[in-house]
Amino acid sequence: MGSNRPSCEGGGVGVKLFRCAVVVALAVALSLGGCAPSETASTHPAAVAVRDLLALRSVNSTDVAAYEPFFAEPSLAEELAGNSQAAGEESTVPESDTPYVSRIESDTADVVVRWHSDEKSFPGWPSATVFSLKWADGRWVIVDAVDPEGAVPAPIDESELIGTPGNTVEK
């Protein structure tokens, strides 16, 4: 007497379901892979500057001197240190993906941060922030930050980062 369970033999229902699951998983992986920033876009010195700033923010550093290297305007370092002190133990920023460069010119760059926030902990927090940086005194400094309207800018092509200030990647 035969079994009613799906069989993997002879291309039965079990094999067909498995094949379908593999195809769906592969399609999802490929579609997500196209959105991921290149390692270079995430390790470019402009992106690293934003990543390091976010690390300070996530532990609520109140050290003004620790924030100063990230800004052209010292008052921003004082403001962030003050905000961290007021926040106490709770993080002032949600978790995020690794920052990546989305635009670069000779001495300016945009770095995107995609946030993982929830309305309970971070009400009204944007899905992403674009940090504008400039090359000044041998370092990338943040001059502005905006929440993009519409689509979040994609990572820059690795070839566009070659030869930019502070970048050590070569052809």
Q: What's the one-letter identity of residue 135?
A: W
Instruction: Report in angstroms the alpha-carbon separations of 102 from 70, 113, 125, 128, 148.
Output: 19, 10, 21, 12, 12
Q: How far apart are CA 159 and CA 33, in angstroms?
A: 18
Contacts 24+ apart (CB under 8 A), 128-134: 128/152, 130/102, 131/50, 131/99, 132/108, 133/46, 133/49, 133/50, 133/108, 133/109, 134/72, 134/107, 134/108, 134/109
Domain ranges of the chain: 40-161
CATH, range 40-161: 3.10.450
Quick one: pLDDT at residue 158? 83
Quick one: pLDDT at residue 38? 59
| H or E element at residue 27 | helix 13-33
Kindly state the tokens that stand for 81. Answer: 């240190």
User: Which mean pLDDT values do the consecutive 10-residue runs of the chain (171 residues) have?
Assistant: 42 40 30 49 95 91 91 89 72 91 95 93 94 95 95 91 72 42
DSSP state of 120: T
Quick one: pLDDT at residue 159? 82
